[in-house]
């Protein structure tokens, strides 16, 4: 019989159910890990970031009435000054601040934002154009270099900020400015005669437009995002044409290939992840949003291939991506150097954006396992425990040369990690009319609407230090729905009880989610136990930097050895193949954390002598390895660090 009914399970089928994200304001972290990080972000990170924006002259760019001040950042060989996209930085700060305002209004912060908005309003050109660089310095050059100068990228971040601020406060001024700016873009770009067939080399506005579409429901917002995605990488290249218009030779492009911006071929023809890691993952996030809204299977098919390539060839064990500083991005397969890892904080966060969107279309823990991975490791490592120092590059090994900084030459990461932590509640759950999916575990209370019926879910847990999670449901009246619980890929022996009754996981688990369908009652309790033994991980043998080495993981946390604990460089360590780890909670360590200890060996350099090379190996002596969660490294004294430790063969 011919199968002509659609495959309901295929994620790209037009009938497949989509999981809608939950507004993070409906998820409150009540105690423990994420509560402490959100408190830090609210109390320290957001205020100090504003201070930095002032001190570093980022806000000066909004003094539209004054003549331009000297450049705060000089022009690079690429033609770009970091100042070209200062708008994006305060845009992201507004977004982060607004996410916390959703939980708790704050007149002081709002006054600061209102002031920025007032200046933007003054500066915006009558036709809606908005970019502080071009308006003040080179109005005649606006829209002449989408390849290098980040105009739409900056507008995208302002737009995300405006949406967040509107949602947090109901104040419309910023949103109205950005709606006007979007309408201006619509008049300038598109396939119609007289419009520029361009798109920004740094993807961002696409996903911002999808957010806007979800707010406004206006088809033109969706269509603009769709246009940008569809046009990207079409040949002949817009960037070639644009360069020629500027009187430049397109071959002089400093990054040589438009793969740098995922614009070397149409997005649906891209099968391997290439180029700048943040550009790639912002783009893929927008593609996933479009696939979600338009149910376009061709986008989904491309995303699936790109995801498979990235996760099988290009992903650090911490969730970091983009191994090279040269292109801030991807290189050859399996090229994952540790000490020179770029693994930009923004890229890990953007990977989180992408995979969480993938899981909205296809509920599969392959995606959300990576969300958890970056949240606890490769993204969170980007912020110090003091809430006001940062990493841009998240290396997996150091000889002590890497220190957290207060502010960066290109400070895209600080506001990104702030907005990510501030909105993390939005990643914990997603829902359909008759289902709620639980992606992350954290002590929290959430209010979720299923078919207009409220469901409150309370999680009690010491996660990520412990894998015992109790979820209790509070409903006005009993309701038929499914609870999908992510069973983390790192966990071999998960178990579930519902109201004390064991569930056979293999019966109910599909694509890494245990699916509990029943008529739920007020007071129902689900207990999920995720045993967290310390495990050793090995890399594919073609990741040659890690060959002969081992990474230590406990639950969702990657661990590292830091000189601060060892008293000597971790590079001298060798882990015995069989040594057992002991986990203990260190109350005083940077807010409290489980540390791991283990018998180990270390090269004894004291009796090596003065030569560099010898026919004899260094003597090994017994020592104790202490390992701490990777995200907590570089919060104490200067020293070496290693994630991938040498192991006895």
Q: Which residues bind a copy of itself (CB under 8 A)?
A: 77, 308, 311-313, 315, 317, 332, 335, 340, 399, 401, 535-544, 547-548, 551, 569, 571-572, 574, 603-605, 608, 610-618, 646, 648-649
Q: Is the preceding peptide bond at 183 cis, omega within 30 degrees of 0? A: no
N-to-C CA span, the chain: 56
**Sign of the Cα pseudo-torsion (339, 345, 347, 351, in order):** positive
Q: What are phi and psi of 429, to 5 degrees?
A: -130, 160
Residue placing its CB nearer to a copy of itself in the complex, 473 or 573: 573
Residue placing its CB nearer to a copy of itself in the complex, 409 or 613: 613
**HSE on the CB side for 12, CA within 13 Å?**
13
Q: Are 568 and 561 in contact (CB under 8 A)?
A: no
CB of 364 to a copy of itself, least distance (A): 15
Residue placing its CB nearer to a copy of itself in the complex, 194 or 611: 611
CB of 537 to a copy of itself, least distance (A): 5
Calpha distance 292→426 (Å, rounded): 17
Long-range residue pairs from 147-151, CB within 8 A, at least 24 positions apart, any chain: 147/201, 147/239, 147/242, 147/243, 147/253, 147/261, 148/78, 148/79, 148/80, 148/201, 149/79, 149/80, 149/84, 150/80, 150/84, 150/85, 150/88, 150/200, 150/202, 151/200
Residue placing its CB nearer to a copy of itself in the complex, 407 or 538: 538
Residue placing its CB nearer to a copy of itself in the complex, 26 or 402: 402
CB of 599 to a copy of itself, least distance (A): 15
CB of 220 to a copy of itself, least distance (A): 41
Number of other CB atoms surrounding residue 545 within 10 Å: 19
Calpha distance 551→559 (Å, rounded): 7
CB of 643 to a copy of itself, least distance (A): 12
Residue placing its CB nearer to a copy of itself in the complex, 1 or 612: 612
CB of 608 to a copy of itself, least distance (A): 6
**HSE on the CB side for 472, CA within 13 Å?**
8
Residue placing its CB nearer to a copy of itself in the complex, 501 or 613: 613
Beta bridge partners of 517: 482
CB of 579 to a copy of itself, least distance (A): 13
Residue placing its CB nearer to a copy of itself in the complex, 245 or 540: 540
With the CA atoms of 367, 369, 374 and 376 taken in that order, what torsion angle do they form, in degrees rounded to the nearest 10?
Answer: 160
CB of 624 to a copy of itself, least distance (A): 18
Residue placing its CB nearer to a copy of itself in the complex, 247 or 609: 609
Those residues whose C-beta lies under 8 Å from the C-beta of residue 634, and which sit 6 or more positions away, are: 384, 391, 398, 402, 403, 404, 562, 641
3-state secondary structure of 559: strand
CB of 308 to a copy of itself, least distance (A): 8
CB of 242 to a copy of itself, least distance (A): 23
**Cα 392-321-279 angle, rounded to 5 deg:** 80
Residue placing its CB nearer to a copy of itself in the complex, 176 or 335: 335
12 to 121, 309, 361, 429, 452: CA distances (angstroms): 41, 19, 8, 21, 26
CB of 260 to a copy of itself, least distance (A): 18
Query: What are the helix (H) ranges across 170-218?
Result: 173-188, 205-216
Residue placing its CB nearer to a copy of itself in the complex, 156 or 322: 322
């Amino acid at each position: 019989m011919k199968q002509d009914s659609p495959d309901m399970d295929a994620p790209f089928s037009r009938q497949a159910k989509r999981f809608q994200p939950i507004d993070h304001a409906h998820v409150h972290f009540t105690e423990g890990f994420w509560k402490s990080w959100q408190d830090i972000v609210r109390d320290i990170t957001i205020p100090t970031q504003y201070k930095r924006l002032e001190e570093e002259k980022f806000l000066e760019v909004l003094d539209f009435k004054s003549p331009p001040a000297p450049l705060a950042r000089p022009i690079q060989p690429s033609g770009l000054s970091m100042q070209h996209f200062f708008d994006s930085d305060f845009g992201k700060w507004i977004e982060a601040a607004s996410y916390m305002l959703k939980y708790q209004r704050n007149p002081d912060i709002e006054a600061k934002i209102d002031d920025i908005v007032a200046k933007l309003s003054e500066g915006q050109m009558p036709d809606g154009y908005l970019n502080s660089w071009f308006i003040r310095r080179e109005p005649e050059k606006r829209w002449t270099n989408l390849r290098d100068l980040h105009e739409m990228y900056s507008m995208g971040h302002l737009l995300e900020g405006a949406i967040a601020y509107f949602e947090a406060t109901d104040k419309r001024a910023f949103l109205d400015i950005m709606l006007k700016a979007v309408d201006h873009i619509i008049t300038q770009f598109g396939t119609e005669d007289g419009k520029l067939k361009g798109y920004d080399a740094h993807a961002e506005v696409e996903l911002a437009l999808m957010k806007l579409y979800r707010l406004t429901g206006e088809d033109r917002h969706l269509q603009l995002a769709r246009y940008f995605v569809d046009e990207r990488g079409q040949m002949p290249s817009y960037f070639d044409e644009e360069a020629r218009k500027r009187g430049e030779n397109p071959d002089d492009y400093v990054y040589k290939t438009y793969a740098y911006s995922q614009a070397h071929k149409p997005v649906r023809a891209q099968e391997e992840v290439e180029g700048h890691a943040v550009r790639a993952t912002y783009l893929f996030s927008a593609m996933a949003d479009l696939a979600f809204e338009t149910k376009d299977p061709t986008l989904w098919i491309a995303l699936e291939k790109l995801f498979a390539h990235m996760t099988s060839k290009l992903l650090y064990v911490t969730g970091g991506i983009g191994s090279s500083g040269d292109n801030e991005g991807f290189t050859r397969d399996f090229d994952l150097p540790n000490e020179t890892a770029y693994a930009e904080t923004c890229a890990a966060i953007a990977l989180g954006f992408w995979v969480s969107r993938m899981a909205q279309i296809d509920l599969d823990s392959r995606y959300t396992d990576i969300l958890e991975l970056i949240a606890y490791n490769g993204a969170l490592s980007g912020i110090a425990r003091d809430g006001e120092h940062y990493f841009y590059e998240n290396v997996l090994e150091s000889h002590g040369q890497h220190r957290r900084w207060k502010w960066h030459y290109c400070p895209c990461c600080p506001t990104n990690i702030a907005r990510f932590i501030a909105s993390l509640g939005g990643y914990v759950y997603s829902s359909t009319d008759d289902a709620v999916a639980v992606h992350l575990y954290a002590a929290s209370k959430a209010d979720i609407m299923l078919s207009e019926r409220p469901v409150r879910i309370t999680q009690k847990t010491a996660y990520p230090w412990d894998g015992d999670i109790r979820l209790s449901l509070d409903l006005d009246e009993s309701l038929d729905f499914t609870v999908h619980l992510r069973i983390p890929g790192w966990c071999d022996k998960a178990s579930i009880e519902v109201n004390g009754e064991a569930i056979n996981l293999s019966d109910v688990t599909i694509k890494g989610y245990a699916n509990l369908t029943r008529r739920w009652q007020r007071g129902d309790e689900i207990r999920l136990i995720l045993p967290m033994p310390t495990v050793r991980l090995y890399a594919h043998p073609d990741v040659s930097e890690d060959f002969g080495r081992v990474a230590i993981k406990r639950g969702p946390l990657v661990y590292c050895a830091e000189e601060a604990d060892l008293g000597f460089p971790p590079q001298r360590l060798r882990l015995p193949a069989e040594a057992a780890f002991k986990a203990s909670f260190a109350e005083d360590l940077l807010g409290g954390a489980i540390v791991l200890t283990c018998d180990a060996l270390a090269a004894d350099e004291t009796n090596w002598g003065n030569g560099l090379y010898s026919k004899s190996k260094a003597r090994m002596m017994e020592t104790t390895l202490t390992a701490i969660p990777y995200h907590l490294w570089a919060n104490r004294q200067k020293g070496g660090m290693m994630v991938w430790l040498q192991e006895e063969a």
